[in-house]
Amino acid sequence: MNEDNINSFQRSSLWHDAFRRLRRRKFAMVCFWIVAGYFALAVFVYIAESIDPTMSAINWKEQLGQGMEYQRPSLCSVKTIFGTNFLGQSTLISTLYGVKTALAVAFAASVISIMIGVPLGAAAGYFGGVVDDIVVWIYSTLSNIPWIILVMAFAVVLNDDKIMGGKLSGEPGVYLAIGLTSWVGICRLIRGEIIKRKESEYVLAAKAVGCSNSRIIFRHLLPNVFHIIIINFSLRFVSFIHMEVIISFLGLGDANKPSWGKMISAASSELTRGIWWEMTAATMAIFVLSLALNIFGDALRDCLDPKLRMER
Amino acid sequence: MNENIPLLSIRNLSTHFFVEEGVVKAVEDVSFDVAEGKTLAVVGESGCGKSVTALSVMGLVPESAGRVVDGQILFRGDDLLKKTESQMRRIRGNEIAMIFQEPMTSLNPVFTIGNQIVEAVKLHQGIKGEHAWSHAVEMLRKVGIADPARRVREYPHQMSGGMRQRVMIAMALCCWPSLLIADEPTTALDVTIQAQILELLRELQKQQNMSVMMITHDLGVAAENADDVAVVYASNIVETASVAAIFEEPLHPYTQGLLRSMPRLGQKMERLESIGGSVPNPLHFPQGCKFHPRCPIGVSDQRCRTQQPQLREVAPGRCAACFHAKGYGD
């Protein structure tokens, strides 16, 4: 065994192995860079907005035509390679701005749902008994209500000015509505995984060393299911992006920020008049992001799942 | 320390499991002592309640169905059964440590072995960071792992079964416990590794003057390592004696049967002898002496069929639970 072999043997940990395998999948890596590009764009919009909201690169409100009355959207002009909408605003800038809206909402909603679902699922699975009964009761009740209806109900309520002085209206309302209603899946998953693992010998060994229950859950069990949380995160992200589009399509999102849902909603009435570019821009942005995330998420699952680790 | 008080003294311990089909009496009225610095081997067939006894001492009987229903577990004179959960946590891994049968699954797959060794030290002695780490390296060296400074950063899946059991021993011993419970420590290992691990345990025991309660179904392991032996059959102790006495003159028919069923060097035999019948179902133990259906004497004896013999001192330093044992009297 030469020096190199010894070194690679030494460094092979679960994560190291996973990333090595992931790097070998060219298509997944292309998808990873697409997703990374979207994220970079979102971060750019976020930073640019906080520096100067009127910066022309992100100023989607700027009207490129003349006058305030209805103007026929144009596809190509000197300033608008991607066309304008019926208010004369740039489709390109709106679409790019929509990246930030979609990703911010999906990210915050994912974090919220994981923060609720993982501890609840872990506690239910580990302690069993009454704790389990209560958690299972809550999530079976919640999962009996159609998700879209539930999210819309939350969004409507959170948008109300009377709640927290209207601080939750707009974007926070959307991600809270999605996050608070969608932790059931991850909760169920983690509960099952913890039930499966809590009788394992290493948990008994940890108890024999004198670990407390919370230490066993957080230090011994959750790191063992961490790959499941990550995979779930990457897959639910896609559905949360779609949910954000649906909510803003229905007019429950932030009225003052462009979003893909709002673009689709506005473009749907224009489509019959042969104005296709606004609809195309928004749906293509969603399509490419969803596809890339899904493919990358699948590859991530294959690489992180210990049961599939033998695969080269 | 008082010489007369044994380190661990179990008195009339009963642990039952309450399942749908009824009550499984996994441990019934078990009493024995583990003396300071000595090794007690608890010998018996699988399913006879050895491991449950060990878990009862640790306070780790599975809460879902099992419960210690009676008895005392005196550790240095203190009853462990009266301690609260947080008091027990301070004892576990610190004063009483345990190693398990399956080294392949007893280590957490996502942490380096160093992390797992230092966990007990961090929990119980408040040693942190570099000091804890160097302690882990030191422990690995003690259990005979080559190149410990490098190995300490490796994951369990990078080690062989024998090495993992060494790591388990390092984990158990890193707080210098005064009692080590070894639950079939060598069953999952092959014979050459078995001998090495037992040798290692003996050496470390001598160094630290530690008591060991070794649970095994292998009389050979008991003969080589133990000072005293307790033979368990169907949740009861049937005989206790020093290791020399039990191999020289077993008093209980079950012990006699066990010894006869061992292969002997230099003796030509077509088949190994075995004890006829099988272990009774713990849900429905037979009336009287639990061994009587399989016992050459008891099967036709009226008293064995109706009364259960109690464990009683039959000679200085040895006890048996059989009406027909020499010195049992009436």
Cα–Cα–Cα angle for A112, A115, A120, rounded to 5 degrees: 130
Output the DSSP codes for B298-317. GGG-HHHHH-PPPPEEEETT
- Give the span between the Cα atoms of B170 and B172, in whole angstroms: 5
Max mean pLDDT range (A261-270, A273-282, B86-95, B298-307) = B86-95
Residue A285 vs residues A80, A96, A265, A279: alpha-carbon distances, Å: 18, 9, 15, 10
The residue of A209, A213, A218, A230 whose CB has the most chain B CBs within 10 angstroms, and thus the best one to mutate to test that interface, is A209
Q: Report ipTM (2 d.p.).
A: 0.84
Residue B19 in 3-state DSSP?
strand
* Alpha carbons A107 and A236: distance in angstroms, whole number: 10
Cα of B108 to nearest chain A Cα, Å: 5
Chain A residues touching residue B94 (CB < 8 angstroms): 210
Inter-chain residue contact A205 with B123, CB threshold 8 Å: no
- For residues A162-188, average pLDDT: 85
**pLDDT: is A276 or B57 the higher one?**
B57
Instruction: Tell me if chain B has a CB within 8 Å of the CB of A146.
Output: no
Q: Do B110 and A211 touch (CB under 8 A)?
A: no
Return the amino acid letter for A132. D
pTM of the model: 0.80
Of B64, B93, B100, Cβ closest to residue A210: B93
Residue ranges in chain B whose pLDDT is less than 50: 1-2
pLDDT confidence of residue B73: 93
Say if the Cβ atoms of B123 and A211 lie within 8 Å: yes
Structure confidence by residue, pLDDT tens digits, B166-208: 899 999 888 889 999 999 888 878 888 888 888 889 999 998 8
- What DSSP letter does each residue of B225-247 carry, written as one string? H-SEEEEEETTEEEEEEEHHHHH
Q: How far is A296 from chain B (nearest CA, A)?
A: 23
Taking only the tens place, the pLDDT of each residue in A128-173 is 889 999 999 999 999 899 988 888 888 888 887 777 776 777 788 8
State the Cα–Cα distance between residues B285 and B163, nearest whole angstrom.
41
> How many CB contacts within 8 angstroms connect chain A with chain B?
75
Confidence category of residue A46, pLDDT binned at 50, 70, 90: confident
In angstroms, the CA B34 to CA B8 distance is 5
Helix A260-270 with A277-304: angle, nearest 10 deg: 140
Distance from CA of A306 to the nearest CA of B (A): 10
Taking the C-alpha atoms of residue A97 and residue A258, their distance in angstroms, rounded to an integer, is: 6
Give backbone dihedrals phi and psi of B231, rounded to 5 degrees, phi first.
-95, 125
Which of B61, B119, B159, B167 is the best substitution to test chain A (most A C-beta atoms within 10 A)? B119
Paired with B42 in beta bridges are B215, B230
What span, in angstroms and rounded, lies between the C-alpha atoms of B136 and B134? 5
Give the closest of B86, B93, B100 to A204, CB-based.
B100
The half-sphere exposure of A97 on its side-chain side, counting CA atoms within 13 A, is 24
Q: Which residues of B touch A199 (CB under 8 A)?
A: 62
CB contact set of A143 (below 8 Å; sequence gap of 6+): A184
pLDDT band at A2 (very low <50, low <70, confident <90, very high): very low
What's the pLDDT at B10?
92
Is residue B51 within 8 Å of residue B44, measured between CB atoms? no
Question: What are the beta bridge partners of residue B16?
Answer: B25, B67
Kindly report, residue by residue over A47-92, the tens digit of the pLDDT.
888 887 776 666 776 666 554 445 555 555 545 666 777 776 778 8
- Nearest to residue A14, comparing CAs of A293, A228, A242? A228
> B214: closest CA among B2, B38, B18, B19?
B38
Judged by CB atoms closer than 8 Å, whether chains meet at A13 and B155 is answered as yes
For residue B110, the chain A residues in CB contact (below 8 A) are 14, 223-224, 226
Residue B316 burial (CB < 10 Å; 0-12/13-18/19+)? exposed
Torsion of CA A180, A111, A222, A300, to 10 degrees: 120
Q: How many angstroms separate the Cα of B19 from the Cα of each of B26, B47, B51?
A: 12, 16, 18
